[in-house]
Copies of this chain bind each other. A is one copy, B any other.
Amino acid sequence: MKKIILMLLFSCFSSVLFGHQNVLIPHAVDHDPQTSGNRFLQQHQSETVALQNDGLSGAYDTSQPQDVMISTKGGVEFTTNDGEFSFQLGGRIIVDAAVYSEDKNTLGNGSELRDIRLDLEGRFYADFIYELSIDFSDGEADIKDAWFAYDANYPWRYTIGHFKEPFSLEEMTSKKYLTFMERALPNAMAPGRSLGFGMNWVGEQTTITVGLFGDDYNDDADDEGDEGWGATGRLTYAPLADQRSVVHMGLAASYRKIDDEQEFRFDSRPESHLTDIRYLDTGKLNMSDSITLFGLEGAWVSGSVSFQGEWIQALLERDEHENPGFSGWYLQGSWFLTGESRHYKQRSGRFGRIRPLNDYGAVELAARYSTLDLNDAGIEGGSSDNITLGINWYLNPQVRFMANYIIVENDIFADADGDVNGEDEPTLIQFRAQADF
């Protein structure tokens, strides 16, 4: 009897739940002003409308109702029961303030919106995924991720659009999850995001990612010269990737042909974004033909303690000039007073979100030494060392406050290509409030 009632319940439930979804207005209905007329009338004329909107029914008949699961963590996520379609909408708000103990130059105390970002991502027809992420923090629309990928040939994935070239553990890790407020000095050499095509292979301990890239989406060579292009690849190997024990190793290389203007420039702020002074600056190097990058990465997590380091080298090829080489590295350590571990994601070879173990949140102490040298072959781009002490308070998985104390030591050539005084040795204190949803 019980069984019968349960079966009845199921069928009844289903008819209610799925039944009322049959009146779903077909997805393809137009809402444009020149289009469709009153929706209620459309329903009364549903036969005609169905023909018009669905076109031929075939492999991609979408008239079946969907059962959709919803989740919200401040943003919102939908997934169809069959997992073939999903949609996720979220964002982040990052607010910074900085006070500079100035030495030879004024750096400009103040506050800023560091990130104001909207993120859409989803899956459709089971095989395709996409992400669209735009930053508005400067009052413009700075496109970050804008790509879609074919994801039905595991362990391979094929991606097209605007996304990060696979280079550097710190670059691959989202700013939301960085241990310090800003990436280390050598990050000035990492390629960042470009328009391109990428392939990604994932094994149990290994990931391989390669890509062919054009320029960044808003780069365009002057006088209609050809844009540049690059090829970048990264290999990661994690013999240990448990929840509280990680050994990560990685190496990456990148070659980039510079566009028809043949101008190349490396520059870098100190590890603070609020000031606009880029002490390190090679200036525009003309007759630049290509740049080749090498990167080595390592990370080690043991319980609440972790270490991470990277070394990056850049070799520039110039016509009629000596070929300069630049390099930099950093080493950092972190300790969770409250017992958490840094969260390593083996499948992407990078770090992720911290989930506090206690109601009052998680507290992390961290220190970093980083150095970058842009002086070589007669180019006086400057050299700088930054020592950072940091403390992070994760109130919950989506809110954290950060404070960084940074000691900057610049050489005589670190003069923003002549705009400021070299040998500047300021001390920086900066604060961050971050929420993502």
Closest residue of chain B to A201, judged by CB?
A: B37
Q: Would A125 and B398 be within 8 Å (CB), given that A30-B348, A347-B52 are in contact? A: yes
CB distance from A293 to the nearest CB of B (A): 17
> Chain B: which residue is nearest A396 at the CB level?
B125
Inter-subunit contact B34/A207 (CB<8 Å): yes
Q: Which residues of B contact A164 (CB under 8 A)?
A: 34
Q: Of B12, B41, B72, B215, which contacts A13 at CB under 8 A?
A: B12
Given A5-B5, A68-B72, A437-B122; A60-B355 close (CB under 8 Å): yes
Asked whether A91 lies within 8 Å of B120 as measured between CB atoms, the reply is: yes
B225 in contact with A106 (CB, 8 Å): yes
With a cutoff of 8 Å between Cβ atoms, the chain B residues found around residue A260 in the complex are 106
A198 interface residue (CB < 8 Å to B): yes
| Contact code string A23-35 (vs B, CB < 8 Å = 1, else 0) | 1110110111111
Given contacts A36-B348, A358-B58, contact A72 B122 (CB under 8 A): yes
A152 contacts which of B38, B72, B74 (Cβ < 8 Å)? Answer: B38
A316 contacts B by Cβ under 8 Å: no
A: number of interface residues (CB 8 Å): 169
Q: Can you give 17 contacting A-B residue pairs, CB < 8 Å?
A: A9-B16, A13-B16, A32-B163, A33-B131, A37-B155, A38-B154, A56-B355, A74-B123, A93-B146, A111-B196, A111-B215, A112-B217, A112-B220, A125-B398, A128-B398, A134-B136, A140-B140
Q: Which of A78-86, A305-313, A317-325, A402-410 contacts B (4 or more CB under 8 A)?
A: A78-86
Select A143's contact among B60, B86, B137, B146, beta carbons within 8 Å. Answer: B137
Contact status of A55 and B125, CB under 8 A, knowing A148-B435, A225-B106: no
Copies of this chain, complex-wide, total: 3
Q: A24-B79, A83-B40, A355-B58 are in contact. Are A110 and B215 (CB under 8 A)?
A: yes
Quick check: which of A280-288, A337-345, A372-380, A382-390 contacts chain B, the rest being far away? A337-345
Q: Do residues A111 and B9 form an inter-chain contact, with CB atoms below 8 A? A: no
Flag whether A69 is at the interface (Cβ < 8 A): yes
Interface residue? A67 (CB, 8 A): yes
CA distance A293 to B192 in the complex (A): 46
Q: Is A126 an interface residue (CB 8 A)?
A: yes
**A247 is an interface residue with CB less than 8 A from chain B:** no
A412 within 8 A of B: no
Tell me, in angstroms, the Cα distance from A74 to B283 when the chains sit together.
Answer: 44
With A55-B243, A95-B162 already in contact, 11 other A-B pairs whose C-beta atoms are closer than 8 Å: A13-B13, A24-B69, A56-B341, A59-B356, A74-B85, A74-B122, A75-B87, A76-B87, A93-B130, A93-B147, A127-B396
Q: Quick check: is A346 within 8 A (CB to CB) of the other chain? A: yes
Contacts of A143 in B (CB 8 A): 113, 116, 136-137, 139
Min C-beta distance of A234 to chain B, whole Å: 8
In the assembled complex, A89 has its CB within 8 A of some CB on chain B: yes
Q: Taking A54-B355, A132-B116 as contacts, is the C-beta distance between A108 and B220 under 8 angstroms?
A: yes
Q: A340-B56, A349-B34 are in contact. Are A51 and B162 (CB under 8 A)?
A: no
Closest CB pairs A-B (n = 5)? A110-B227, A74-B124, A58-B357, A33-B159, A111-B214
Q: Tell me the bound Cα distance from A204 to B222 in angstroms.
A: 52
Question: Is A101 close to B, CB under 8 A?
Answer: no
Q: Is A365 an interface residue (CB 8 A)?
A: no
Bound-state Cα–Cα, A307 to B162, Å = 35
B contact residues around A116 at 8 Å (CB)? 132, 134, 143, 146
Is A62 among interface residues, defined by CB-CB distance under 8 A?
yes
Chain B hits for A275, CB < 8 A: 224
- Complex-state Cα separation, A246 to B392, whole angstroms: 47
Using known A-B contacts A72-B85, A128-B399, A139-B143, determine if residue A95 contacts B160 with beta carbons closer than 8 Å: yes
Contact assessment for B60 and A356 in the assembled complex, using a CB-CB cutoff below 8 Å = yes
- The answer to whether A433 has its CB under 8 Å from any CB of chain B is yes
For residue A262, CB closer than 8 A to chain B, the reply is: no
Nearest residue, chain B, Cβ from A154: B38
Question: Is A104 close to B, CB under 8 A?
Answer: no
A129 near B: Cβ within 8 Å? yes
Interface centre among A28, A74, A105 (most CB of B within 10 A): A74
